[in-house]
Structure 1
């Protein structure tokens, strides 16, 4: 189902481009020029112009079986909230801390994951909300599943990554998801995103601080 929706979103974008091309062609024809004629008075023929084709949109960059986890830092394309638009998600950084400002984790460790999210379609795209069956969760090595914002994680605020709502076409944002984990759960794991079609994207998370924003995230977490 998700593949069909991604393809449909690509068609909407491509149709707008084709319509614009057609309008430009009509304007050129209205400029008063006529087709050239041969000596016999018949219009000269010109080579046929191949029709434009609509490019297909890959659903993910990973080539593994359905449900297989991508490497941390690898991008995946998914359907936007309400099945509108195409959202590309790339986990960028993970940081493990035992306190975030004056907030301490209920279970022992905060895992902060930053995500680069980009809208690739002609419509704004956003994450599907947990209220509609979407959103993020952390799956530990033993299979335990923890939703984002659990425990005291919802009390942690990183101003630089505090974004919500639809992302404009072609624009991108860096957002953060925070999990309140036990020390055992914080030894690496898998983050899972569920979109509006109930399809999952998975990424393996390193067990140590990793990514280009580690220092920046730690700065944001200072009291």
Structure 2
């Protein structure tokens, strides 16, 4: 990258989103449409000691952007709250965690990588979307992943690294969208 080009301008004008050129660490990685299911490998060493390494279908479905959520206020200006449907089609599965080198990240349009749950984003647990952990064979569960982002960082890329080290990316809409929108908003009402 030339010294006179900012990272934000390079990402906007030079990077080829979804191309997987490797210069940005995305060789062979495709950016999926938001709402598309990725077939991933579950966590190889779940934190609770249970089995969890079977196939896990991961589908981010809905996004809400809010300055405040569930008695927490965003330090950076906006929470990005995303519903994820996890399904274990064959055997018990669990999402990969950061301690294993996996889990969720938000890549802002300017290229900044943010971890799930930073600041008060970890306190956002909407009713009906508080899954996470083990999903039994043949079952599915809702969960949310939340990020504390700047207002200008809406419309980023959601990234998940699975238990096998493979990375999946979804381009997230820049405004509230998705089929669970009303239910997610209801689930965040109150200060519990």
Q: Which bracket does the TM-score occupy, shorter chain normalised?
A: 0.7 to 0.9
**Whole-angstrom CA distance in 1 between matches of 2:163 and 2:57:** 14
How many residues get paired?
159
Q: Which residue of 1 aligns with 2:97?
A: 129
Q: Moved runs in structure 1, 4+ residues, more than 2 A?
A: none
**Whole-angstrom CA distance in 2 between matches of 1:77 and 1:90:** 9
Match of 2:162 among 172, 177, 195: 195
Deviation at 1:171, TM superposition (A): 0.5
SS at match of 2:185: helix
Q: Which residue of 1 aligns with 2:180?
A: 213
Please provide the CA RMSD for this pair.
1.6
**Whole-angstrom CA distance in 2 between matches of 1:215 and 1:165:** 25
**Is 1:76 aligned to residue 38 of structure 2?**
yes
**Whole-angstrom CA distance in 2 between matches of 1:195 and 1:102:** 31
Deviation at 1:159, TM superposition (A): 2.6
Match of 1:167 among 120, 124, 135: 135
| Segment drifting more, 81-90 vs 138-147 | 81-90
**Whole-angstrom CA distance in 1 between matches of 2:124 and 2:57:** 25
**Whole-angstrom CA distance in 2 between matches of 1:70 and 1:165:** 24
Q: Which residue of 1 aligns with 2:147?
A: 179
Deviation at 1:165, TM superposition (A): 2.1
**Whole-angstrom CA distance in 2 between matches of 1:201 and 1:157:** 24
Structure with bigger helix share is 1
* Higher RCO structure, 1 or 2 (CA under 8 Å, sep 6+): 2
**Whole-angstrom CA distance in 2 between matches of 1:180 and 1:162:** 18
Deviation at 1:164, TM superposition (A): 2.6
**Whole-angstrom CA distance in 1 between matches of 2:56 and 2:140:** 10
Q: Which residue of 1 aligns with 2:11?
A: none
Query: 5+ residue gaps in structure 2?
Result: 1-18, 21-27, 45-51
SS at match of 1:81: coil
Query: For the pair shown, which has the larger CA radius of gyration, 1 or 2?
Result: 1
Query: 5+ residue gaps in structure 1?
Result: 1-63
**Whole-angstrom CA distance in 1 between matches of 2:43 and 2:145:** 17
Deviation at 1:101, TM superposition (A): 2.6
SS at match of 1:161: coil
